[in-house]
Amino acid sequence: MNTVKIVVAGPRGKMGSEALRMIQKQDNYELVACVDKKNGGWKVKDIDGLPPFEARIYEDMDECLQEVEADVLIDLTAPEVGYKHTKSAFEHGVRPVVGTTGFTTDQLEELTDLSEQKGLGAVIAPNFAIGAVLMMQFSKMAAKYFPNVEIIERHHDQKLDAPSGTAVKTAELIQQVREEQSQGHPNEKETIPGARGADFDGMRIHSVRLPGLVAHQEVVFGDLGQNLTIKHDSFHRESFMSGVKLAVDRVLELDVLVYGLENLME
Ligand SMILES: NC(=O)C1=CN([C@@H]2O[C@H](COP(=O)(O)OP(=O)(O)OC[C@H]3O[C@@H](n4cnc5c(N)ncnc54)[C@H](OP(=O)(O)O)[C@@H]3O)[C@@H](O)[C@H]2O)C=CC1
Ligand SMILES: O=C(O)C1=N[C@H](C(=O)O)C[C@H](O)C1
């Protein structure tokens, strides 16, 4: 088994630190560097709470990828930063595995084009939890029969983007099988703006942010005399790690950008 040389961006973060612990458990993964917004020049092992890796920390992705030989970048940072890091990875011939959410449609299109131009595979997955991917797939199946649907996503209150990447991806998958339609009463009026949630192609998305939550989503379908609710909960960030590993293993064989883990699951 060949060694996969990995750079992690966002190593102090909730997801980045979990990714480091996942890498530590794999015999054929090697952490070659991290990119953080501070602590440049330190080693990962110098930071309290992180595994004892010798890998150096850089504060600039371009500098890091010029100096270090890497196969894969795992980015778990924040929307604008993650987008810049992904571009930089392509420029340096490194395959990105991106969990960072909040990219715009234009950014996703640009990154898809860049991946094709460079002939370098990439995975951008709004949710790496296998259960969440199944929840999205089941929702797409259900939407064929139940076009009236609302999405309720619940996250911890440190989350920067709303709606969540998972909610957007769910709505996109449902959109593929559902005719655009508005829901609720045609004359309904919001007496407080935003009361009906975000409008995606007539579907409503509601974002809840509270301490104590991790990552949770319900997709609620309504029809005459019946409701169907499809629900997924991540109670711990370990839930995302088998998906991150799947993406790292599969990205090495890819020469296009794949958006969504469902495209890698047989
Ligand atoms: N795809 C998936 O399955 C999942 C995706 N996510 C997404 O992953 C991302 C990270 O989430 P989470 O770990 O909870 O967030 P955190 O805020 O805990 O972690 C983000 C880390 O990135 C760091 N950071 C910010 N700017 C830079 C920079 N310029 N260079 C390097 N590092 C930087 C932050 O530093 P500082 O704290 O100092 O600002 C922080 O340590 C989010 O976009 C989230 O939506 C989350 C869970 C699952
Ligand atoms: O920020 C988070 O925590 C999460 N972000 C992703 C999203 O935006 O969907 C995935 C998961 O929901 C956790």
Same domain for 189 and 254: no
Q: Ligand 1, closest atom to CA 244? A: 3
Catalytic entry in 5, 87, 118, 159: 159
pLDDT (0 to 100) of residue 182: 82
Known binding residue 196? Answer is: no
Domains in the chain: how many in total?
A: 2
Does 163 sit behind a cis peptide bond, omega within 30 degrees of 0 on the bond before it?
yes
Q: Is 11 in the pocket of ligand 1 (CB under 6 A)?
A: no
Q: Walk along the chain (266 residues) and give the pLDDT tens digit of each residue.
A: 799 999 999 999 999 999 999 999 999 999 999 999 999 999 999 999 999 999 999 999 999 999 999 999 999 999 999 999 999 999 999 999 999 999 999 999 999 999 999 999 999 999 999 999 999 999 999 999 999 999 999 999 999 999 999 999 999 999 999 988 888 999 999 999 999 999 999 999 999 999 999 999 999 999 999 999 999 999 999 999 999 999 999 999 999 999 999 999 97
Same domain for 100 and 135: no
254 alpha-carbon distance from chain centroid: 18
Known binding residue 101? Answer is: yes
d(CA 230, CA 217): 8
Same domain for 10 and 120: yes
Q: DSSP string of 160-208?
A: -SSS-HHHHHHHHHHHTTS-----S-TT---SSTTTT-EEETTEEEEEE
Ligand in closest contact with the CA of 14 = 1
Same domain for 162 and 69: no
Same domain for 118 and 209: no
Same domain for 119 and 244: yes
Q: Is 147 in the pocket of ligand 1 (CB under 6 A)?
A: no
Same domain for 169 and 113: no
Same domain for 244 and 114: yes
Q: Say what the pTM is.
A: 0.97
Known binding residue 165? Answer is: yes
Same domain for 199 and 156: yes
Same domain for 105 and 15: yes
131 C-alpha vs ligand 1 centroid, how far in Å?
21
ipTM above threshold 0.85: yes
For residue 155, indicate whether it is catalytic.
Answer: yes
Same domain for 100 and 73: yes
d(CA 250, CA 177): 28
pLDDT (0 to 100) of residue 181: 87
10 C-alpha vs ligand 1 centroid, how far in Å?
6
Same domain for 145 and 110: no
Q: Is 236 in the pocket of ligand 1 (CB under 6 A)?
A: no
Which CATH number belongs to the domain containing residue 173 in this structure?
3.30.360.10
| Domain of 213, in residue numbers | 130-235
Catalytic entry in 85, 92, 155, 216: 155
Q: Ligand 2, closest atom to CA 217? A: 12
Tokens describing residue 238? 């370990």
